[in-house]
Structure 1
């Protein structure tokens, strides 16, 4: 497992490929769930030109490790990769990569989602957005997606 906070840009797909080459668990498992988050060019109905993402070094990495450990206790997955960017970001820049490897897709999806949602709510990151008319600190994260039940007619597989 690897958890990393970076100040520079990264290519999520290249990181996945590189990690898969390094990890013995990731190459032999049947499911990989991946989330890649990028910077939006809008927030709260306003265009955003730039964002500065700050963190608390040391504490952030420890909190991310705790989040992954908690997910692993609930969902017994085999491997995970979490990379989060800090510093100055621009629209479309990758911010976060969460990847989870498991023998089964359900475990991989559930663990990946738990890690991401907990990261968004508990990890010590602070966002300052640059708008057309100045700058503002972001006070709340957007809500996560709550899945809707699958209609009975769609359950034919």
Structure 2
């Protein structure tokens, strides 16, 4: 069970390969990769992601431990970047491994829903029109609510 919060880019292929190779007793590996999405207007120049070191890792480790308790996971991995990112760049990755695909899929969805709505990251969008802090969306809150 690994949580990494980092500014530097990571090699998605190498991360997935390394994760899967470390899961000898698993029958399923599920991965999800999040990208910085441009705005509907196509106007996003960059996004700044801020966090408080120590606090963020602790919060992510806590939710990862919750996923391990709820589902039969062999392994899990969360990587989330911070700093200045551009549209199309990888922002985060979740990987889960279990004996059966249902647990791997559900745990990955749970972790992604948490990361999208509750993880202690603050996002600021920079466009040609100025800057704006990203607020949580009701659909992200609703997605997280299904795990209560």
* Fold similarity call, TM over 0.5: yes
Deviating beyond 4 angstroms after TM superposition, the runs of 4 or more aligned structure 1 residues are none
Contact 2:34 2:93 in 1 (8 A): yes
Q: Which aligned pairs between 1:133-148 and structure 2 lie closer than 5 A?
A: 133-141=129-137, 143-144=139-140
Q: Greater Rg, structure 1 or structure 2? A: 1
TM-score normalised by length of structure 2: 0.88
Residue among 48, 51, 65 paired with 1:52: 48
TM-score normalised by length of structure 1: 0.83
SS at 2:73 equivalent = coil
CA distance in 2, matches of 1:29, 1:51: 36
Structure 1: gaps of 5 or more residues: 147-157
**Which stretch has the larger CA shift, 117-126 or 56-65?**
117-126
Residue among 71, 96, 100 paired with 1:100: 96
The answer to whether residue 124 in structure 2 is matched with residue 128 in structure 1 is yes
The answer to whether residue 35 in structure 2 is matched with residue 38 in structure 1 is yes
Q: Look up the match of 2:62.
A: 66
Structure 2: gaps of 5 or more residues: 144-148
SS at 1:78 equivalent = strand
